[in-house]
Amino acid sequence: MRSVRARAALGATLVVAAALVAAGAVLLQVLRSNLIGQAGLQAEIAAREVASQIALDRPPDRLELPDDSERPVQVVAEGGRVAAVSEGLEAISGTSSGAVAPVPSSSPPDGGEDDGDRDGDGTPARGEVSDDPPRFTSGSATVDGRRAEYRFAAVEVTSGAEQRTYTVHAGAPLATERDAVGTVRTAMLVGLPVLLGVVGSVTWLVTRRALRPVEAIRREMAAITASEDLSHRVPEPGSRDEVARLARTTNETLAALEASVERQRRFVADASHELRSPIASLRTQLEVGAAHPELLDLDGAVQDTERLQQLATDLLLLARLDAGERPATRRVDVAALLREEVAQRHGDRLPVSVTARGEACEVTGSPGQLRRVLANLLDNAQRHGATSVTASVRGTADRVEVVVSDDGAGVPEEDRERIFERFVRLDDARSRDDGGAGLGLAIARDVAGRHGGTITVGAEKGGGARFVLSLPRAAGPR
């Protein structure tokens, strides 16, 4: 079953069916229990009425028993002897005796009269009806040729003068209980399929309506995939539910993909353009050298090769960063790293002064990538400075800041973000040999961002550019 609507409708129908079946079973059980309890109460009342007559010492053969077929009564004496039964009782089961023919007592009361023995003061002797709860049983009885199911209540009573114990069994019919339970069961069996059909149909229609925007999103995504045009967007429903959020998230993803693809296209175009110049220059020099060895410019060939090597290194690093490469998690002393980088630089055009102050300047990250950031900032300052370059490191409670400044012309305010884009050079009039490929600052910002830091540029007092690298300080003791 591949349709979400079908699965939702089937699932809802099954859940409702299970709930209705369980509720129906409980309802039938409660109804049956209540009706049986009512029948037992009626049987107990009838049994206690007969027991009260025995307690007043009325002989069993003179008891006033119910004469209707719905209240069969059986009085059983000690030893299982049937003392009295209601009129028309032909068979009985579920009581202490199955006999329906009364058996006279073998020892009639001495000096007894019709109205029973009396106490010495002339008042009738009184027996006692047991206060214990009656015993309830279910059975059947045949009265006047008709057999039916009954709920029997058994009440014990002691006669007055004879002090004999009798058990009075009185029954109440269970036909009402059976009819009511059967009627409810039939109604449930008829109504359950109808109700399940309604639930399934409503669920199907509601799910279809709810998933209609999802189908529109799917169609638009299929069209975008077929056309490869990431400028299209999926329709966003006016609701504020999960489908609307899905549409908005999908459009945000499409926008990010479009920007990424466009950036990748520009990157490939710019990289091809940047590689073409040194390769063409190197090829020309080699061809000239092959034809006229005396004219071969070895220094120029070496410089072009170095430019190619540096550009290839930058492109590979950018590719790794774009692929999501995570930096290492080593503790790095930024002040020591900066001093090492400055000490290893030879042939710089301008002198570099380094100062460090504040607390410990340790961060967590990759020493190689952080060294590359510092080198790129220093290269940029060397390229644009007039007479000197300064670099300082300052540690605070939670940050480490590296400031690289030069005394050059500075960066115009409107270009202070654009210089961090790839292959962007503000000194277009300068040669590519002097100006670089325009990747240094882009790499520096990408690496800083992956270390949880930032790079900003501002104006230095007295003129020049001031680049600030801010990184989160390493947590905990070393």
Backbone dihedral region of 122: left (phi > 0), alpha (psi from -120 to 50 degrees) or beta? left
Q: Does residue 108 sit within a domain?
A: no
Q: Which domain holds residue 248?
A: 242-322
252 in the same domain as 216: no
276 in the same domain as 197: no
The CA distance from 378 to 382, in Å, is 6
Cα atoms found within 13 Å of the Cα of residue 248, Cβ hemisphere only: 9
- Per the CB < 8 A criterion, the answer to whether 438 and 312 are in contact is no
- Per the CB < 8 A criterion, the answer to whether 138 and 94 are in contact is yes
Spell out the per-residue pLDDT of the chain, length 478, in tens: 567 778 888 888 899 899 999 999 999 999 999 999 999 999 999 999 999 998 888 888 888 888 777 889 999 998 889 999 998 889 999 998 888 888 877 655 444 444 445 555 555 556 788 888 999 999 999 998 899 999 999 999 998 777 889 999 999 999 888 899 999 999 988 988 999 889 888 888 888 887 888 888 888 889 888 888 888 888 888 777 788 888 889 889 988 888 878 877 877 777 777 777 778 878 888 888 888 887 777 777 787 787 788 778 878 887 777 777 778 788 999 999 999 999 998 878 899 999 887 667 899 999 989 999 999 999 999 988 989 899 999 988 889 999 999 998 889 989 889 888 877 777 543 444 455 667 889 889 999 998 999 999 999 887 889 999 999 998 866 6
Quote the pLDDT of residue 338: 92
CATH of the domain at 267: 1.10.287.130
Q: Does residue 233 sit within a domain?
A: no
Q: What angle do CA 86, 91, 95 make, to 5 degrees?
A: 80
260 in the same domain as 139: no
Domain count, the chain: 3
335 in the same domain as 315: no
Quote the pLDDT of residue 432: 44
Q: Does residue 276 sit within a domain?
A: yes
DSSP 134: P
Q: What angle do CA 372, 377, 381 make, to 5 degrees?
A: 145
The CA distance from 264 to 316, in Å, is 14
Helices (H) and strands (E) in the chain, counts: 8, 14
Angle formed by the axes of helices 242-291 and 175-227, nearest 10°:
30
Quote the pLDDT of residue 50: 92
Quote the pLDDT of residue 436: 62
Task: Report how far apart the first and last C-alpha atoms of the chain are (Å, whole number).
Answer: 59
The CA distance from 304 to 384, in Å, is 22
The CA distance from 26 to 231, in Å, is 60
The CA distance from 451 to 464, in Å, is 27
The CA distance from 76 to 82, in Å, is 4
Question: Residue 87 CB: number of other CB atoms within 10 A?
Answer: 13
Question: Residue 165 CB: number of other CB atoms within 10 A?
Answer: 16
Backbone dihedral region of 400: left (phi > 0), alpha (psi from -120 to 50 degrees) or beta? beta
96 in the same domain as 199: yes
CATH of the domain at 466: 3.30.565.10
**Distance from the Cα of residue 26 to its chain's centroid:** 32
Residue 290 vs residues 120, 191, 297: alpha-carbon distances, Å: 157, 99, 11
Q: Does residue 215 sit within a domain?
A: yes
193 in the same domain as 162: yes
Whether the model pTM is above 0.85: no
134 in the same domain as 249: no
The CA distance from 261 to 272, in Å, is 16
- Per the CB < 8 A criterion, the answer to whether 352 and 345 are in contact is yes
464 in the same domain as 359: yes
Residue with tokens 């504040």: 358
Q: Does residue 118 sit within a domain?
A: no
Domain boundary among 190, 225, 260: 225
274 in the same domain as 141: no
Q: Does residue 340 sit within a domain?
A: yes
Query: What is the rounded radius of gyration, in angstroms, for the C-alpha atoms of the chain?
Result: 52
255 in the same domain as 187: no
Q: Does residue 412 sit within a domain?
A: yes
352 in the same domain as 293: no
Q: 62-68: long-range contacts at Cβ-Cβ below 8 A with a sequence spacing of 24 or more? A: 62/114, 66/170
Domain boundary among 322, 357, 387: 322
**Distance from the Cα of residue 352 to its chain's centroid:** 58
220 in the same domain as 340: no
- Per the CB < 8 A criterion, the answer to whether 100 and 74 are in contact is yes
Domain boundary among 272, 291, 322: 322
